[in-house]
A = this chain, B = another copy of it.
Amino acid sequence: MTIGSEIHGWVTDLFPLCRSITGDGIRESLRYLQRILPEMKIHGVSSGTRVFDWTVPLEWNIKDAFIANEGGERVVDLSQNNLHVVNYSEPIDEWMTFEELDRNLHSLPDQPDAVPYVTSYYRRRWGFCLTHRLRDQLRQEPFRRYHVKIDTTLESGELIYGELILPGSTSREILLSTYLCHPSMANDNLSGPCVQAAVARWLRDFVPDRRMTYRILFLAETIGPLAYLKRHLETLQENLVAGFVLACIGDDRRYSFVASRSGSTTADRVVRHILRHDHPDHDEYSFVDRGSDERQYCSPGVDLPVCTLMRSKFDTFPEYHTSKDDLAFVTPSGLEGGYRLVRECLGLIEELGPYRCRTIGEPHLSTRGLYPDFGLRDSWTKVRTMMNLLAYSDGHHDLIDIADLLEIDARELVVVARDLVDHGVLELDLPS
């Protein structure tokens, strides 16, 4: 089985759960991921806790929701699709005419066969989402009466999140963060958590000599990072080298990323370099086009070096936040491409430098067997890359700086740099 198929399997398993920012949906989802990553801890923040300008809301749970006609037939039913209920709806159990009901319905006239995804976390209300086609049909009989029932609870509980720390040989950190609060949509947002789980497993199992410490988070969007930052902001500001939010990373379309607020952090530079070389047809979005948890990580006073990795950018593809974002929209190859992009970024940061030449003047390469045997002109070009790496390794230029100068892929320099470190002529600094 390919890694892409395996990730797609996880997406498929998690798809039916009715997640929200709190409640049993996200709890069961985290427990599922814990089976892949048993080292992951699940932490909670109590309802009512202040997190900066926000307050953790009551925990929301749902048992049932439907609109039934007088014959008892459910014309809209939660069990058919978790999107049918406005997420965080308060309970209701009433009879009313369609005309009365219609004020609480949501549909998409432009996409008559899609059920939209609507939430109302911070204002109490109730509502249903349905296809515009069905709504138009029901509209034919405005005075017909319906049994409208939403069986939800809003009670004091917890905002929970998953946290996996994979220690490296240094305290310099890389953050991977994704959100896990959307019900029954595959790209937004099961692709992010499932790709992130696969990357975490790879780091744990196949990168034992990692230099960086990895902080890997599965959170509710927006309130999740805020609650986490409330607890860990200073540590992150002190140690974070680069962070990546994973979002909408499982479809088969072009790669893209949202730059950090400054646009020039290590995170931005690494993603930009990798995408330019591996996927020249990618899209770069400015922070002005942000929309996921980079909003909090890069906000004034937080200012972490974080950008968001995606394939199709949220809010730009027609399937976004509708029932069309389904298990066919994300693919094994799409997910595997996202997984590989993240791995490439992390791999490069581990080796990024800057490096520092340990000699004054050029090192004497031939005593170390690093110089080609004979001084004929033809051999010269063969050592140029090595010589250039040495010439610019002044503790200020990292591999991306040098690669861009030489118009090559920074990953070509990684092997050369390792060899020079092994020969004692270069030493590695960690990115600041």
Interface residues of A (CB under 8 A from B): 51-55, 106, 116, 118-120, 122-123, 222, 225-226, 229, 233, 261, 286-288, 290, 295-296, 298-303, 315, 320-321, 356-357, 359-364, 366-367, 373-377, 380, 388, 391-395, 405-406, 425
Q: Which residues on B sit within 8 Å (CB–CB) of A374?
A: 118, 120
- Which residue of chain B has its CB nearest to the CB of A225? B361
A-B contact pairs, 28 of them (CB 8 A): A51-B361, A52-B360, A52-B361, A53-B359, A53-B360, A53-B363, A118-B374, A118-B376, A120-B375, A122-B367, A123-B373, A222-B362, A225-B361, A226-B361, A226-B362, A229-B360, A233-B360, A296-B362, A299-B362, A299-B391, A300-B391, A300-B392, A300-B393, A301-B357, A301-B360, A301-B361, A303-B394, A320-B377
Query: Are the C-beta atoms of A394 and B300 separated by less than 8 Å?
Result: yes
CB-nearest residue of chain B relative to A387? B295
Q: Chain B residues with Cβ under 8 A from A119's Cβ?
A: 375
Contact call A391/B261, Cβ cutoff below 8 A: yes
A305 CB to closest chain B CB (Å) equals 15
The listed residue (B225, B300, B362) touching A357 by CB distance below 8 A is B300
Rounded to whole Å, the gap between the CB of A394 and the closest CB of chain B is 4
Tell me how many chains of this kind the complex includes: 3
A395:B300 contact, CB within 8 angstroms: yes
Interchain CA distance A228-B405 in the complex, whole Å: 30
Q: In whole angstroms, how far apart are the Cα atoms of A280 and B123 in the complex?
A: 45
Least CB distance from A207 to B in Å reads 30
- Across-interface contacts of A52 in B (CB, < 8 A): 359-361
A226 to chain B: closest residue by CB: B361
Whether A361 contacts B53 by the Cβ 8 Å rule is yes
When the two chains form the complex, which single residue of B315, B356, B361, B392 contacts A261, counting CB atoms closer than 8 Å? B392
**4 closest cross-chain pairs (CB), A and B:** A300-B394, A53-B359, A301-B360, A300-B357
Other A-B pairs beyond A301-B360, A302-B360, 13, CB < 8 Å: A53-B360, A54-B361, A106-B376, A120-B374, A120-B375, A226-B361, A261-B391, A288-B388, A296-B362, A299-B360, A300-B357, A301-B394, A320-B377
User: What are the residues of chain B within 8 A of A299 when measuring CB–CB?
Assistant: 357, 360-362, 391
Name which of A119, A388, A391 has the most chain B CB atoms within 10 A of its CB.
A391
Q: Are A118 and B375 in touch, CB under 8 angstroms?
A: yes
Chain B positions within 8 Å of A120 at CB level:
374-375
